[in-house]
Chains A and B, each alone.
Chain A
Amino acid sequence: MSGPGIGWYLIVAATLFGIGAMGVMLRRSPLIVLLSLEIMLNAGSLALIAFSRQLGNLDGQVFALAVMAVAAAEVAIGLGLIVAMARREMPLDVDEATVLRG
């Protein structure tokens, strides 16, 4: 087997996941939050594929495909929400959208 070992792949995936999580937790623009979420999903996909290759098993790649489909659906809904917020001239700031406070 050529190329870097699985450890490198996992380090990259974990880094990406951390960056994404930080983005979700710290940024206030919904668009950036959505992008960060995508990064987290892709980090997960990368780890799946890495394991798939390591174990010589295609299951992980199939899962990665499924994650892509979920990500596409999520983007469609998330962008739709953001567009709807912009149309209503609501502030594009997740801290301002607190109607669901208990």
Chain B
Amino acid sequence: MVAGAWVCLLAPLAGALAIALAGTRISRRTAGWVSTLTTFVAFGGALVSFLALWAESPEDRERLSTAYTWLAAGDLEVGFEILVDPLSSVMMLVVSGVGGLIVWYSMGYMAGDDEERRYFAYMSLFVFSMLVLVEAGNFLLLLVGWGLVGLASYLLIGFWHHRPEAVAAAKKAFVMNAIGDATFALAAVLLIWETGTLEYPGVFEQVDGLSSTTVNLVALGLLGGAVAKSAQIPLHTWLPDAMEGPTPVSALIHAATMVTAGVYLLVRTHPVFEAAPDVQHLAALLGALTLLVAGLVALVQWDIKRVIAYSTMSQIGYMFLGAGIGAYGFAIFHLMTHAFFKALLFLAAGVVIHHLADEQDIRRMGGLRRELPRTHLAFLVGTVALVGLPPFAGFWSKDAILASALAEGGALGWVLYVAGLAGVLLTGAYAFRLYFAVFRGERSARAAHAAHEEHGSGEGPLSILVPVGILAALSAVGGLLSIPGVWHPFTHWVGESAEALVEPTTAQDYVTSLVAVALGLVGAGFAHRAFAGGRYLVTSPAAWQVLEHKLYFDDLYDALFYRPAVALSNALRREVEEPLVERSLEEIGSGTIQVGGEVGRLQSGLLRTYAIAIAFAVAVLVVVFVAVR
């Protein structure tokens, strides 16, 4: 079982190295196949280790495998080790499975791009990094994976480096993530300080004995990392901009896997958060806030990918909400179903964008139902799964989280519950607004134009259609792994790693589902009415203004951090750099030249003068030595 996990971890690394080292000796297509196949090999390894784990007895389902001692400093020893347990096995399957499908899709999507080989090398690097993150057997390796996925994300957002917006977006994502990495690293340092270990079991055993300040600080540090990586308020502004990257990248990194790493972190380190319940509840509240804000902003976006990006933030908000109240199994369940349907939405959006020759504005789309029938069907499945209509995937997972909020009860539970239900209404509205705008209505001039071009010929090669089809199937049935009142194999499986704190009753489940489905349909109804009436979804101009500026978060950070930093730098240049540093350098230079000129006059070239000077100097020295003695 451990061997499978190692294969799973190392196959994508081998793929990335092979593509990078082979350079132009392999064709672009070969590079794509190397990347795809190594990712599927990783999936095979994950499957083997999952099945082997399944066959073990429940109390024996946690295996730590150490390759070697990586760091040893005093009493602190950190190994290069991977942890195979129910939680990480699920994450391995999701990352390598969805990853494999998306890399395969990329072969069709990126065909003809200038630097395909670099693209596939980065993709493999990303899959490897993400697997390091989920398989890590201690905090330090987790942090390594954390940093590596940030790097891969940076490289892939900025993949089209000739576009200034892409470079700026990559930088923004990197800086935002660096803030989270820093708080995570500080938490790790604090753990070393207080517990003397970075092993999961060692930390989790000692966490109850620590002072509440320490535990809260550690949990806050971890939460900071999770919030940055998962694009939750207040570190969320990078995710919409990250849509500058290629669409499969958005699907893999910014929807299915990397951005959900924060949820994985919350679940993986749940004993720390349970020891700091205030911070855990803060995570839930941040998730609730994010799901509302992102849902609202998604109502007014015009870029097809940005709408889906805001939807991703919103859905991760649900996961944070779930993890924050201790519904770990359901949070991971939603993570998985979300990986299916959000990857599906992105890939289907990619087909649309390709079809329309890189058009992303939904105002210039419409009526694509007839031209792209299969994509239309896939997108509809994804939309319905996102809104959470039965029996599609999102229905089971999202409602389970909401039911857990209801089961949590109290003021907190009710706030979260109401926010989550309001989010469902918003989800229905923005998701169906997108669907109607793209696929229904009259065929736009742009689409008609595209139909005449080469792009308009069909929906793409098999490498595009098959992954979309598989993801559509998974989005349709993936939720059946947990049916309230019937069976919960998925949540029981994850529960072995992280036991849930709340367990909704079947009645709570059904009531929630009823309300949520009704709200989702109402939202869809709003979208339909606005669409049929040719109106915007948000009618108040003031509200539109606020939402179009994404609630002024970017402007706020601009005023709060960027402008003061620029002003400070300018002041330092004016007041310190120029008068002190530059002028003093100039004066050192000119002074040296002046002294040199004066001293140079002594060098007369007259040999006898030199001889006299030497004689005189020796005489003086003799006198001095004698006098000193």
Report which A residues bind B (CB closer than 8 A).
Answer: 21, 24-26, 28, 33, 94-95, 97-102
Please, which residue of chain B has its CB at the minimum distance from the CB of A101? B605
Contact with A along B40-73 (1 / 0, CB 8 A): 0000000000000000000000000000000000
In the complex, the answer to whether A98 meets B608 with C-beta atoms within 8 Å is no
B600 within 8 A of A: yes
Given A21-B615, A25-B615, A102 contacting B601 (CB threshold 8 A): yes
Within 8 A of A (CB), among B559-612: 599-608, 611-612
In the complex, the answer to whether B615 meets A101 with C-beta atoms within 8 Å is no
In the complex, the answer to whether A95 meets B603 with C-beta atoms within 8 Å is no
- Residue of B601, B602, B605, B608 near A25 (CB, 8 A) is B608
In the complex, the answer to whether A98 meets B606 with C-beta atoms within 8 Å is yes
CA distance A26 to B611 in the complex (A): 10
Complex contacts, A102 vs chain B, CB 8 Å:
599-605
Please, which residue of chain B has its CB at the minimum distance from the CB of A98? B605
Given contact pairs A95-B608, A101-B603, enumerate 12 new A-B contacts (beta carbons under 8 Å).
A21-B615, A28-B608, A33-B607, A94-B608, A95-B607, A98-B604, A100-B605, A101-B604, A102-B599, A102-B600, A102-B603, A102-B605
Q: Count of A-B contacts with CB under 8 A?
A: 36
Please classify how large the interface on chain B is, using the bins under 10, 10 to 19, 20 to 34, 35 or more. Answer: 10 to 19
Main secondary structure of the interface of A (DSSP, over half): loop
Complex contacts, B603 vs chain A, CB 8 Å:
100-102
Please, which residue of chain B has its CB at the minimum distance from the CB of A21? B615
Complex contacts, A26 vs chain B, CB 8 Å:
608
Shortest distance between the CB of A63 and any CB in chain B (Å): 19
- Residue of A25, A97, A99 near B611 (CB, 8 A) is A25
CA distance A24 to B615 in the complex (A): 10
In the complex, the answer to whether B607 meets A94 with C-beta atoms within 8 Å is yes
Q: Which of B603, B608, B615 has the most chain A CB atoms inside 10 A of its CB?
A: B608
Please, which residue of chain B has its CB at the minimum distance from the CB of A22? B615
Shortest distance between the CB of B275 and any CB in chain A (Å): 78
**What are 15 pairs between A and B in contact, CB < 8 Å?**
A24-B611, A25-B615, A33-B607, A95-B606, A95-B607, A97-B605, A98-B604, A98-B606, A99-B605, A100-B603, A100-B605, A101-B603, A101-B605, A101-B606, A102-B600
Q: Which 9 A-B residue pairs are closest in the complex by CB-CB distance?
A: A102-B603, A98-B605, A101-B605, A102-B600, A94-B607, A100-B605, A24-B611, A25-B611, A25-B612
Shortest distance between the CB of A28 and any CB in chain B (Å): 7
Complex contacts, B612 vs chain A, CB 8 Å:
25
Complex contacts, B599 vs chain A, CB 8 Å:
102
CA distance A26 to B408 in the complex (A): 109
CA distance A25 to B611 in the complex (A): 6
Shortest distance between the CB of A90 and any CB in chain B (Å): 14
CA distance A33 to B612 in the complex (A): 13
Shortest distance between the CB of B247 and any CB in chain A (Å): 72
